[in-house]
Homo-oligomer: A and B are copies of this chain.
Amino acid sequence: MPKISDRGFRMPASPIRKLAQYADAAKQRGIEVLHLNIGQPDIITPQIAIDAVKNHNDPIISYSHSAGNLSLRKGLADYYVKNNIDVDYSNILITTGGSEAICFAYYSILNYGDEVIVPEPFYSNYYGFTTETGARMIPVRSTIENGFALPSIEEFENALTPRTKAIMLCNPNNPTGYVYSKKELEQIRDMVKEYDLFLICDEVYREFCYDGEHYSVMNLKGIEENTILIDSFSKRYSVCGIRIGALISKNKEVIATSLKFAQARLSPPTFGQIAAEALLKTPDSYLKQSFSEYKERRDYIISELNKIKGVYSPMPKGAFYSIVELPVDNAELFCKWLLEEFEFEGTTVMMAPGNGFYTGKKMGETQVRIAYVLNKEKLAKAVRCLKKALEVYPGRVCKDE
C-alpha cells in the first residue's frame, strides 16, 4: 500500500471539528449539545440573500469569471470605500470563502520552507494552510495575562530568519477576540517596511469591535504593495455556507498571480456569489442588531465564566470568541469527557481545545476557545452546564482554591 505524504501526516485535524464524532454520538444518545466550539452564528441570514438565490432565473448554473462576477467585485469595492478602505474592483479577487483567499495568498508569496510569523494563539487553520503550502508558521506568543495584545516588536524581530516572507494577523482576532490598535498596527507597518515583508491580515470580523473603531491594514501608509487583506461574507451576514470570501491587494503582481491559482480551480460558487452581491444591500440595521446581540452575549458570558472558580477569560474586544483558562489538567480530555461522559439536565457543551490554537505541544493545554454564537438563554444553560461539569470532573485542578 503506498504511503500518504508527510504533509498529509503533519496536517493537523481541526481543533474545532475533530471532536465532532463524539458530539454526534452524544446527540444519538439524546443529549443536547451546545456548540461553543465553532463560529457558526445562530443569527438569521438576511432574507435579501435568500430571495436573490430564489429569484435567480438563469437556466444554466454555469461557471463565473475566475476572479468572481464583475458586478460582485464592483459592489464589494463600494463596500470598502464606504468603510474608508480605498480600493477598486481590480484589487479584488472573489474566493471560495476566506479560506481560499488565505491559500491563494500563501501560494502566491511563499516558497517551500518559507516562513510566516503569526501571533500565537492563532486561528488554527492558518497552521493547516501553511502545512498545505509547504511553508512554516513561526509563532510569537501573546499571553492571556496581557489580554492577548500584540507581542512586542522585539519578539517579532527575534523570530525573523532569512526565510521570513510575511507576517500574518487576524484583526479582530480569532481565537482571542483581541482588536489591534492603530498604534500596534503602525509598529507592524514599520517592521514590514524595514524588512520588506508581506503583511497578510484577516479582517473578517471587522464589524464586530465592541470597544472602539476598527483600523484596517489597508490604511497603513507606505506598505500598500506589501499588504494583502483577507475577507469573507460568512460571519458578517451569517452566511458561512455560501463560501464567498475575497483576497484584496494593491499589489498587482499578487492579484495577477493569485488569479492564476483562481483560474486553475475555475470559479467561485455561482449561487454564493448571487447571495453575496445581494448582501451588499443589507440594511445597516442588520449589522447594528448583530453587533448589539454579540456585545450583550460577550458581556454576559465573560462575566459569568469569570465567576466560576478557577476559570479565567480576558474581556475580548471584538469578533465572537474568547480563549478561556480552565481549572483542568487537560482541556482536550475535558472537552472529550464533556461529550462522552457528562450531561446535566440532558445537556452538554462542546468547546474547542485550546492546544490546537498553539504550535507548542504543551501550550494552551488548559485552555479552550469558546464562540458566543448562541442566544443568551443557551449561553446561560452552557455556563450552568460547564460549572456543574467542573464540579465533578475527575481531572479538575483547583487553581484558585
Contact = CB atoms under 8 A, between A and B. Distances in A.
A99 B11 contact: no
A13 to B, nearest CB: 5
Q: How many monomers of this chain does the complex have?
A: 2
Contacts of A17: 66, 263
Contact of A108 (B5, B258, B264, B267): B5
Contacts of A66: 14, 17
Given A45-B61, A132-B107, A260-B14, A266 B240 contact: yes
Of A12, A97, A238, most buried by chain B (CB within 10 Å of CB) is A97
A2 B264 contact: no
Given A14-B260, A111-B7, A257-B11, A241 B63 contact: yes
A186 interface: no
Contacts of A38: 63
A295 to B, nearest CB: 20
Contacts of A258: 8
A339 interface: no
B266 A269 contact: no
Contacts of A265: 96-97, 99-100, 103, 125
A172 to B, nearest CB: 19
Nearest to A110: B5
A165 to B, nearest CB: 7
Interface in A300-340: none
